[in-house]
């Protein structure tokens, strides 16, 4: 079975350019997760590398399939500026390790919470997993392997996360769109939710 990570990194490079920094985090009982940083103008993109090495398994499954199952990497885009977004590396690695550590399947519409600010002073402690395919196209792998999907992460304030739990991901995304919310603003306020 071919190692998918070199293919994943090549796809990230072809879509986002050369990374200007990378960091690796290893958690007990999980494979190493790297986070690559790409700078494009005033936008900084952080992409995980390592989450897709193993397929995600439904936590209710009795036996984990080592081949079949969804594979994904996470991509976060923020506007560079005074916020110290470089400290998001560890929280991103924690989220990317969650399928291995907690047995969750990360999919569009899901909320992922790190329980602390994504970076120092950030008004966000969680993210909404958005639909893939816009920024980085899915990476098709040889059958029977599922493709690797590159899932955008949209930072949520605690109020937005609570509202999303009640009304759903689609409703929150529509609220952001209606209000012209700049989801890349690392210090934006919560969207009006009344």
Task: Evaluate whether 118 touches 155 at the Cβ level (below 8 Å).
Answer: yes
User: What pLDDT does 101 receive?
Assistant: 84
User: What pLDDT does 149 receive?
Assistant: 97
pLDDT at 182 over 50: yes
65 vs 4, which has greater pLDDT?
4
> Could you read off the pLDDT of 43-95 as tens digits, one per residue?
999 999 999 998 998 766 666 667 788 999 999 999 998 788 889 999 999 99
> Could you read off the pLDDT of 5-51 as tens digits, one per residue?
999 999 999 999 999 999 998 887 778 999 999 999 999 999 999 99
pLDDT at 1 over 50: no
Phi-psi map region of 29: left, alpha, beta (phi>0 left; psi -120 to 50 alpha): left
> Could you read off the pLDDT of 107-136 as tens digits, one per residue?
999 999 999 999 999 999 999 999 998 899
Task: Evaluate whether 51 touches 96 at the Cβ level (below 8 Å).
Answer: yes
User: What pLDDT does 64 receive?
Assistant: 66
User: What pLDDT does 68 receive?
Assistant: 83
User: What pLDDT does 63 receive?
Assistant: 67
CB atoms within 10 A of CB 48: 27
Q: Give residues with Cβ within 8 angstroms of 28, minimum separation 6.
A: none
User: What pLDDT does 107 receive?
Assistant: 95
Q: How many residues are present in the chain?
A: 194
Of the candidates 43, 41, 32, 11, the one whose C-alpha atom is nearest the C-alpha of residue 149 is 11
- Burial code (b: 16+ CB inside 10 Å, e: under 16) for 69-108 equals bbbbbbbbbbbeeebebeebbbbbbbbbbbbbeeebebee
β-pair partners for 165:
none
> Could you read off the pLDDT of 159-171 as tens digits, one per residue?
999 999 999 999 9
Instruction: Describe the chain by its helix, strand, coil percentages, rounded to 5.
Output: 25, 25, 50
3 state SS of 76: strand
Per residue, what are the HEC states of 135-164? Answer: CCCCECCCCCCCCEEEEEEEEECHHHHHHH
pTM for the whole structure: 0.94
Q: Is the dihedral of CA 35, 95, 157, 163 positive or negative?
A: positive
pLDDT at 2 over 60: no
């Amino acid at each position: 079975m071919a190692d998918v990570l070199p293919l994943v990194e090549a796809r990230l490079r072809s879509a986002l350019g050369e990374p200007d920094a990378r960091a690796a985090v290893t958690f007990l009982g999980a494979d190493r997760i790297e986070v690559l940083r790409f700078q494009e103008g005033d936008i900084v993109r952080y992409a995980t590398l390592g989450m897709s090495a193993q397929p995600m398994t439904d936590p209710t499954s009795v036996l984990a399939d080592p081949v079949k199952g969804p594979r994904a990497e996470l991509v976060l885009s923020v506007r560079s500026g005074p916020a110290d977004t470089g400290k998001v590396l560890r929280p991103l690695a924690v989220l990317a390790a969650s399928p291995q550590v907690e047995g969750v399947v990360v999919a569009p519409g899901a909320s992922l919470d790190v329980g602390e600010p994504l970076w120092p002073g950030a008004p966000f402690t969680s993210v909404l997993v958005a639909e893939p395919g816009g920024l980085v196209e899915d990476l098709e792998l040889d059958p029977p392997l599922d493709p690797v999907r590159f899932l955008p992460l949209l930072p949520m304030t605690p109020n937005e996360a609570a509202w999303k739990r009640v009304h759903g991901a689609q409703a929150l995304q529509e609220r952001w769109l209606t209000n012209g919310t700049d989801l890349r603003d690392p210090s934006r306020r919560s969207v009006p939710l009344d």
